[in-house]
């Protein structure tokens, strides 16, 4: 009998923490301060939602767990880099992240900039160094996928639109475009990378049709994640979130709550959740963890 969802999450989070510890440069290797700050930004914090999505997608197709670990680590390093840079004074200027002082507060701005830079390059180094799929062409496509999801047509592009939209009234399609890129692209990539950590034939193989469905699932759940994030920014407190609550309204940022109201945003998250679950219908029991993660993303309180 399979373990319950909470135990599955806890076991993967604990194991993945050790994976990250092993993949990050040791703090006693030069340059020590940079390496210490990289470890500070990545370890001991965060829900690890993106890695969990990669593990669940990997389990769905029967991918090799050790390969999924590497892909999930690459995604989490990109995510950690984005948080470090987003918190800097030139962007969101925040002092609290994952319940501790932000990287530039704990160290300094120049170090935080370099932490983000080196986490990003480490992510791609891992994808190039480790075997992720039996087929080299497929592995190259996975590297391309993460780069595209991260760059100016993905997360960074979404962040640029976000910075430019402060004080502006965006339409719903404009807001959706921003968030599909800023938050959604990496979540989508996590699902797709996890599902491709196998071989092109036999065990761990994934068909183009399955991949298209998982891509659609990732897109919907990535957007749902952001809608819920907007609601939590209004409703939850700083201690629960581990980051400063109420920042969006303080910064005069357009959000799903400012456009739709709290109930409207909640309804939208429910609709995206329902649609995401419908896409998984054809996968049967194999998609149980993805379903449970979709539930968690929409029902979470932090």
Radius of gyration for the chain, computed over Cα atoms and rounded to the nearest angstrom: 18
Single out the segment in contact with ligand GRG by CB under 6 A; choices: 42-50, 62-70, 141-149, 205-213: 42-50
Q: Which of 296, 295, 252 is nearest to 277 (CA)?
A: 295
Choice between 120 and 139, CB closer to ligand GRG: 120
Give the integer Cα–Cα distance in Å for 10 and 16. Answer: 10
Give the integer Cα–Cα distance in Å for 10 and 296. Answer: 13
Single out the segment in contact with ligand GRG by CB under 6 A; choices: 141-149, 153-161, 206-214, 275-283: 153-161
Choice between 83 and 195, CB closer to ligand GRG: 83
Report the DSSP beta bridge partners of residue 96: 101
- Of 224-263, binders to ligand GRG (CB under 6 A) are 226, 229
Give the integer Cα–Cα distance in Å for 279 and 214. Answer: 8
Choice between 85 and 291, CB closer to ligand GRG: 85
Please select the residue that binds ligand GRG; options are 98, 104, 273, 289, rule is CB under 6 A. 98
Give the integer Cα–Cα distance in Å for 258 and 227. Answer: 11
- Of 44-73, binders to ligand GRG (CB under 6 A) are 46-47, 49
Is there a cis peptide before residue 253, judged by omega within 30 degrees of 0?
A: no
Tokens of 53: 């999505």
- Of 159-178, binders to ligand GRG (CB under 6 A) are 159
Q: What is each CA distance from 49 to 46, 72, 75, 189, 252, in whole angstroms?
A: 8, 10, 10, 12, 27
- Shortest-Cβ-distance residue relative to ligand GRG: 46
Please select the residue that binds ligand GRG; options are 36, 69, 86, 176, rule is CB under 6 A. 86
Please select the residue that binds ligand GRG; options are 12, 67, 85, 188, rule is CB under 6 A. 85
For position 185 contacting ligand GRG by CB under 6 A, the verdict is: no
Choice between 210 and 244, CB closer to ligand GRG: 244
Sign of the four-CA dihedral 147, 117, 176, 186: positive
Give the integer Cα–Cα distance in Å for 253 and 294. Answer: 26
Please select the residue that binds ligand GRG; options are 155, 227, 260, 290, rule is CB under 6 A. 155
Choice between 34 and 228, CB closer to ligand GRG: 228
Binding site for ligand GRG (CB under 6 A): 46-47, 49, 79, 82-83, 85-86, 91, 98, 155-156, 159, 182-183, 226, 229
């Amino acid at each position: 009998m399979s373990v319950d969802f909470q135990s599955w999450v806890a076991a993967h989070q604990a194991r993945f923490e050790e994976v990250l510890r092993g993949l990050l440069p040791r703090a006693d290797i030069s340059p020590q301060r940079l390496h210490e700050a990289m470890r500070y930004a990545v370890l001991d914090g965060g829900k690890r939602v993106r890695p969990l999505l990669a593990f669940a997608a990997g389990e769905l197709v029967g991918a090799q767990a050790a390969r999924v670990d590497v892909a999930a680590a690459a995604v989490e390093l990109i995510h950690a880099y984005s948080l470090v840079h987003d918190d800097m004074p030139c962007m969101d200027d925040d002092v609290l992240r994952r319940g501790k002082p932000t990287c530039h507060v704990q160290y300094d701005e120049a170090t935080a900039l370099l932490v983000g830079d080196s986490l990003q390059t480490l992510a791609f180094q891992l994808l190039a160094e480790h075997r992720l799929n039996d087929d080299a062409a497929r592995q190259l496509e996975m590297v391309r996928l993460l780069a595209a999801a991260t760059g100016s047509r993905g997360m960074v592009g979404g962040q640029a639109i976000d910075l430019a939209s402060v004080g502006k009234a965006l339409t719903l399609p404009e807001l959706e475009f921003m968030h599909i890129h800023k938050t959604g692209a990496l979540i989508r990539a996590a699902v797709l990378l996890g599902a491709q950590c196998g071989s092109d034939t036999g065990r761990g193989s994934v068909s183009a049709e399955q991949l298209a469905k998982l891509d659609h699932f990732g897109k919907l759940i990535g957007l749902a994640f952001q809608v819920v994030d907007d609601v939590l920014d209004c409703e939850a407190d700083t201690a629960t979130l581990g980051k400063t609550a109420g920042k969006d309204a303080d910064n005069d940022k357009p959000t799903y709550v400012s456009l739709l109201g709290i109930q409207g945003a909640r309804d939208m998250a429910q609709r995206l959740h329902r649609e995401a679950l419908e896409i998984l219908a054809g996968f049967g029991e194999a998609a149980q963890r993805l379903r449970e993660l979709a539930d968690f993303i929409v029902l979470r309180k932090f």
